[in-house]
Amino acid sequence: MAGTAYEEFLELGEYHGRERREVLPQWIEAATRIGLNERDMEYAVKEFIPEMWDLQYLGVRKMIGAMTREAIDHTQLKEQRKRGVKLVYGIIPAILTPYQAVKKAGGDKVFVSFPDMCLMNFLQPLFHKGAPLFELAEQSGLTYGCRHCALNKLRIGLRLKDVVPAPDIQWSFGLVCDEATKVDEYINCIFDDKWFAVITRLPHDTCMAEVDDEIPERVAYLAAAFKDAYEEVQRITGVKVQDEHVAAALDDFQRYLGKTDVLIRLTAQADPQPLRGSELVNFCHPFSMPFNTGIEHMEDALDTMIEEVKVEIANGRGIYPKGAPKVGGYFIPYSIPWVDKVFMDNGVATSSSLSMIASAKQLIPPSGTDLYQNVAEQWLRMVFGMGCHVEISTWIEKVNRAKPDALLMGFFDYDRWLGQMHKMGAREVEKATGIPTFYIEADFFDDRDYSQEALRTRIESISQVIKMRKAAKERGVAGEQAVACEPGAA
Amino acid sequence: MDDVMREFAQLATDRPAELRKRKADGKKVVPYIGQFVPEELLHAAGVEPYLICRGGEPEPPEAVLDDMLRFLNPLARSMAGFYLMGLDPVMPLADLIVASQPECHVQRMAEYLELQGLPLFKVGVPQNWDKAYAGEYYFRELEQLKAKLEDLTCALVSDDSVREYIGYDNEINALLRRIDALRKTDSPPLGGYDFIHLNHYSFFVDPRVAIEKLTAIAVRLEAGQGKFVADCPRILLAGHAVAVGDYLVVKNLEDAGALIATEMMDEGLRWYRWDTEMDGDPLRNLWRAKYLDKVPVNIFQPAWRHRFEHMKALIAGYRIDGVVWYQLAYDEIYDMECTVITKWLRDLKVPLLKLETSYEYSREATGPLNTKVESFVESLRGGK
């Protein structure tokens, strides 16, 4: 039996018996380092997690356990560095294959991580406790009013709190927003001149009718930029990545991709739906951050979840009422899982995240045999890597495939690249697909400005509209069928 | 001097009407956004350039909010907003709009203009300027721009022609430096308000006319009386941009008794401290002058240490008493640089005032702004 809230948390993450006893001291130490106390633990295990997560599923609990394992590992970065382990950091969004290949090649001699992403994915969805670290960054000068990215604030906060030491090298994909890579310069300039980063950037400068990954010069440029940075990573760490490491990393990716695809499809098509949209995104973390502890724990959780979902579907069970409308999104905001909960309370299921659905083009294997060329093509086929015109048509393709009853946009107001697209693109998608889109100005990571209380009414109204439209559509279809059955109907 | 200034201002004001006539005569009108677009190349191609950098009014940034993010900076939203409101006299005439693309605000704004059906050509500017491959990317963009202009005009752009316009721009730069140097004196005959206006006018007239007017103004200023009291607080105005039309803060600073002795702005002012080489390949020279030779713009990486060295040189050279950081609202990278610079300036014991604008200049907004400005100027005066 678990005694303290710390133990209860570990139990909840499927740490039992001897393993739990062994992990407990590390967990208490880790929690303390990232600013979690016993009261936070109690709130998490007694209120927040049971309300926000579907703990009846072993797969969900195992996933929490896997995330906990990774978070504990991250609180040991300073010790790792002292032991001579080379620290390689990155930021989202990135193509993970090169990072994972470094880990495959370097083993325990290298710690490969996106620390801000890892700890954001742990602190906010499970404890709702990112704010103290955001505030630390704000006190340092990343002003509250300017709408900086909370993930970047967390990176600064973690450095200021001395949880995360300077890396041997940070390889920052600066291919979406401007702020993420400049945070490296910011930390270097005012807190830690040992914070060393190599950045990969590409201007967003394609024009209407240009398709990013079909411009050979663009692909070649990005490939050269990746090569330049990757060679720097290998030079600094002394890790030599061979083809077999890249192949092993790609294998992991493909295998995991296949499995998540199964889970997403099963969930999205099920009625009643057995899992929340935010949980689906949580299972996809291995696409957005490298796991220094390996992906096997997440994969075990995923395997379990798939089986459980199959059973639920076979038994006609779900967590939403049968017939509940499904709302898709660019990215269901898993960091603030109460959004999901409010939709659920209003009888609407959050389902597919567009960014988690592969477009037809993404399923085509890259054209070359060169790693860098392939990574460049992969990147330019992702929605964040495209100009808005191609991105809009890719969104339309994905929406037509996922067929949600409505689409929820917004939550990226702090991101001048992604956020603007949500405003500009939503109307175009609605026009092309007929699926209603709703824009909510809010923050994917940080809900201090856009609290549950502030957004509840808006979500309730949106839910009402979605339900009414779905009902009207069904009545319309029924009416059309009735007309079609009448004698003489064309 | 006032009559020449007025003439210069009138010529700049008349530019849109002149462009309509030129277009009717068959000339191509090519507005451009950002100084990574070489104005010299546009002139050399025989098109009619026009800098899009208008701001300072509250309605245009609001007008685009149905389709644009509230947290894009107000200058980016203004450029689109003036067009949307039918208040931009030149964009509707455009045969091509050339937009430099160094950062997300202007990148998304350019896409918005494309969605409105405007013809865009984008000049990508990689931010990691310390990498040779990044520099070559920008160079290729300039080559493609040249080719695009040749397509547009059905005429080749000769090196000699580019060189000729580089020469004019160098001459404008030299004149601006000459005028700017007057602000180093104890009682200069002009301050930042006039200097910024001169910069803006110079964008909107033929370069030969700009040279003529600036020469006349320089001569008169050199012979004229000082306009500022000898011991007034001397300010460095730094930030992203003082847009065309956005003069309220600049005016308030000088009305409060300070002298804007110099500026460090990435846009809105000419990069007049740096000339372009005349010998050799002119396109390569333009590339080098804009990308490598000048102090890096804020978005470049690494930039801030280089920029601070430049700022320190300005502080020493112009005997600066305090820095005013003039920031566009939600301009996140400038906001970060401000924090960095504030820290470094504190070490040098140079005071900094951060002012942020959303172009909301209602009485309610300007009241606190004036108080801030007056208090800062007063504190600098007290410290002298």
Can you tell me the distance from the alpha carbon of A164 to that of A78, in angstroms, rounded to the nearest whole number? 7
pLDDT digits over B316-366, tens only? Answer: 999 999 999 999 999 999 999 999 999 999 999 999 999 999 999 888 888
Q: For residue B235, what pLDDT band results from cuts at 50, 70 and 90?
A: very high
Q: Tell me the pLDDT band of A272, cut-offs 50, 70 and 90.
A: very high
pLDDT, residue B1, reads 63
> Given an 8 Å threshold on Cβ–Cβ distance, is A424 in contact with B124?
no
The residue type at A96: L
Chain A residues closer than 8 Å to B131 by CB: 225, 228
Beta bridge partners of B234: B259
Please, are residues B287 and B200 in contact by the beta-carbon 8 Å criterion? no
A-chain residues near B101 (CB < 8 A): 203-205
Report which of A316, A323, A317 is spatially closest to residue A347, judged by C-alpha positions: A323
**3-class SS at B54?**
strand
Question: Are the CB atoms for A136 and A163 separated by under 8 Å?
Answer: no
Mutation target for A interface from B75, B105, B128: give the one with most A CBs within 10 A. Answer: B128
**Interface contact B124-A174, CB threshold 8 A:** no
| Contact present, A123 and A129 (Cβ < 8 Å) | yes
Q: Mind listing the domains of chain B with CATH numbers?
A: 19-155 (3.40.50.11890)
The kind and range of the H/E element at B161 are helix B159-181
Q: Chain A: residue nearest B342 by CA? A: A141
Mind listing the pLDDT tens digit for each residue in B182-231?
999 999 999 999 999 999 999 999 999 999 999 999 999 999 999 999 99
Torsion sign over Cα A104, A105, A111, A114: negative
- Whole-angstrom distance, CA of residue A372 vs CA of residue A369: 9
Interchain pair A201, B332: CB under 8 A: no
Which chain B residues have a beta carbon less than 8 Å from that of A183? 336
Measure the CA–CA gap between A465 and B63, rounded to whole angstroms: 27
ipTM of the complex: 0.97
Confidence of residue A485 (pLDDT cuts 50, 70, 90): very low
Tokens 């940034």 -> residue: B61
Which pLDDT score, from 0 to 100, does residue B384 have? Answer: 78
Give the residue on A whose Cα is nearest the Cα of B137.
A221
pLDDT band at A100 (very low <50, low <70, confident <90, very high): very high
pLDDT score recorded for residue B35: 96
Q: Does residue B80 register a pLDDT over 80?
A: yes
Contacting A residues, span 361-420, partner chain B, CB-CB under 8 Å: 387-389, 413-414, 416-417, 419-420
Give me the sheet containing A86-90, strands edge to edge.
A110-113, A86-90, A169-174, A197-201
By the 8 A CB rule, do B51 and B31 touch? Answer: yes
The model carries a pTM of: 0.96
Nearest one of A147, A162, A82, A83 to A115, comparing CA atoms: A162
Q: Cis peptide before B282, with omega less than 30 degrees from 0?
A: no
Residue in chain B lying closest to A173 (CA): B128
Q: Is the pLDDT of residue A480 over 60?
A: no
Separation CA B36–CA B289 (nearest Å): 10
Q: Exposed/middle/buried for A454, CB within 10 Å: 0-12, 13-18, 19+?
A: exposed
| Cβ <8 Å between A205 and B305 | no
Cβ pair B381, B260 in contact under 8 A: no
Provide CB contacts within 8 A for A117, sequence distance 6+: A91, A92, A151, A288, A289
- Yes or no: say if B324 and B237 are a contact pair by the CB < 8 Å rule: yes
CA–CA distance, A301 with A283 (Å, rounded to integer): 8
pLDDT tier at A1, thresholds 50, 70, 90? low
